[in-house]
A and B are shown apart, each in its own frame.
Chain A
Amino acid sequence: MELVAIFVSAILINNFVLYYFLGICPFLGVSKKISSALSMGLAVTFVMTITAVVSWAINHWILIPHKLDYLQIVSFILVIASLVQLVEMFIRKMSPPLYQALGIYLPLITTNCSIMFLALLAALRNYSLAEAVAFGVGSGLGFTLAIILMAGIREQLDLADVPEPLKGAGIALIVAGIMALAFMGFIGMIK
Chain B
Amino acid sequence: MRDKGLVINTKEDLAQVEVFCFIESCHKCSARSLCIGQDQSKGILSVKNPLKANPGDEVNIEIPDSKYNKALILLFGSLLLASLLGMGAGYFLSPLLLISSSAGSLLGLLFALAAAVIILFRYFQKNNKNYLYPVIIDIIKKGDYHG
Contact = CB atoms under 8 A, between A and B. Distances in A.
Interface range for A = 20 to 34
Given A53-B106, A97-B130, A43 B87 contact: no
A111 B31 CA distance: 10
A39 B65 contact: no
A36 B71 CA distance: 11
A90 B63 CA distance: 22
Given A53-B109, A97-B46, A101-B132, A46 B80 contact: yes
B121 interface: yes
B87 A36 contact: no
A57 B45 CA distance: 40
B76 A42 contact: yes
A45 B80 contact: yes
Contact of B76 (A33, A46, A94, A111): A46
A129 interface: yes
Contact of A133 (B77, B87, B134): B87
Secondary structure class of chain B's binding surface, majority of residues:
helix
B75 interface: yes
Interface string B39-75: 0000001100000000000000001011011011101
Interface residues of B, number: 38
Contacts of A94: 120-121, 124-125, 129
A96 interface: yes
B129 A97 contact: yes
A103 B48 CA distance: 18
Interface of B: 31, 34-36, 45-46, 63, 65-66, 68-69, 71-73, 75-77, 79-80, 83-84, 87, 91, 101-102, 105-106, 109, 117, 120-121, 124-125, 129-130, 132-134
Question: Which 8 A-B pairs rank lowest in CB-CB distance, beginning with the nearest?
Answer: A39-B72, A97-B132, A42-B76, A35-B69, A107-B34, A104-B35, A97-B133, A46-B80
